[in-house]
Amino acid sequence: MQASRRSICNRKGMCMFKSLLCFTLAALLPCAAALADAKAPIVIKFSHVVGEDTPKGKGALLFKQLVEERLEGAVVVEVYPNSTLFGDADEVGALREGKVQMLAPSLSKFEAYTKQLQVFDLPFLFDDLEAVKRFQKRDKSRELLHSMSAQGIYGLAYWNNGMKQLTANRELRKPEDAKGLVFRIQPSSVLEAQFGQLGAKTVKMPFAEAFKALQAGTIQGTEGPWSNIASQKVDTVQPFISELNHGSLSYMLVSSKTFWASIPYQVRSELEAIIEEVSYSVSKDAETLNNNARAGIIAAGKTQVITLTAQERAAWRTALSPVWKTYEAEIGADVLRAAQAVNRR
Ligand code: LMR
């Protein structure tokens, strides 16, 4: 009797265990199915060569912040500043090989992929940064965002840092003052021709190496916007900065064509909306950052800032504008004309 009761109990216990198991599994199933469906977040490695307290550095961080607020769980952005992941020499290659997913190299660094973007390097072509921005909104300039499509590079937006100044170990007031000096330049033959026009020499050198080369004396000058001069402490090793504003340092925010196309449509649309917002903010903040950097350099007093009269500046323009003609055919006469049309003279 007892034995049979025990066996009923055992059967009941077994039954209860089975129904508990079934209940638990049933509860877990949707969760497991969801887990199987859930994709790992898309990872965007954004590599760049400048400090975080620069227009590009801040733009990259704002992009990360907005993506993480609005696409939480779907997209993760990792920002690598100061050439910590890739530098000038290898970043575009890394993008094409899928090792990084976003970059914002200066337009001077795309020469190997398109000649048309060289229009942005032509000295004194644009009267000021506002003219550069106006050109970037025109159709001709928008078309250039896709000028490297055949090489798998997808242009997302233009970002601007600021107008470039000349730093040197001697006072540069007249174009002939630069003669014989060796300048570090970005990898652009227009910039090579620009300094060649002055009788100066050039070395194409990654951004990360310029400060050491100035310290070592292997180069005697550089060009760049105030924010880069300040963040790299160039004013501590160059006794003179001529405020020439002869060209802009502008960037193209790029991704790889295959990577961008692989992002699901809705996520991609949200990313593109974020990029539009960030580009606006980079543009707005760049002026303040450059003004503050200029003021900081003057206050630190390690270098002498040379401001030029309109007449002195005009002499540099006259000396350098023959470079436009040299590059007209490579860039395209239509692109050059569209760029010149934005000046309000
Ligand atoms: C340079 O090489 O001087 C600049 O392109 C660096 C940068 O990205 O601002």
pLDDT tens digits for range 292-308: 999 999 999 999 999 99
Q: Is the distance from CB of 254 to CB of 156 less than 8 angstroms?
A: yes
Residue 36 has pLDDT above 80, yes or no: no
Q: Which residues line ligand 1 (CB under 6 A)?
A: 49-50, 56, 106, 161, 186, 207, 224, 228, 249
CA of 156 to the centre of ligand 1 (A): 18
**Closest ligand 1 atom, CA of 228?**
9
Torsion of CA 336, 255, 87, 324, to 10 degrees: 0
Question: pLDDT tier at 201 (50, 70, 90 boundaries)?
Answer: very high
User: What's the gap in Å between 251 CA and the centre of ligand 1?
Assistant: 9
Q: What is the pLDDT of residues 48-103, one digit of tens each?
A: 999 999 999 999 999 999 999 999 999 999 999 999 999 999 999 999 999 999 99
First to last CA, the chain: 111
Over 70: is that where the pLDDT of 249 sits?
yes
Please check the confidence at residue 23 and state whether its pLDDT lies above 70.
no
Ligand 1, pocket-test mutation among 48, 50, 251, most atoms within 8 A of CB: 50
3-state SS track over 179-197? CCCEEEECCCHHHHHHHHC
Q: Where are the beta strands (DSSP E) in 23-163?
A: 42-47, 75-80, 102-103, 153-163
Q: How far is the CA of 246 from the centre of ligand 1 (A)?
A: 16
pLDDT of 5 strictly over 60:
no
Of the listed ranges 60-64, 154-158, 171-175, 284-288, the least confidently predicted one is 284-288
Tokens of 208: 């990360």
Q: How confident is the model at residue 30 (pLDDT cuts 50, 70, 90)?
A: very low
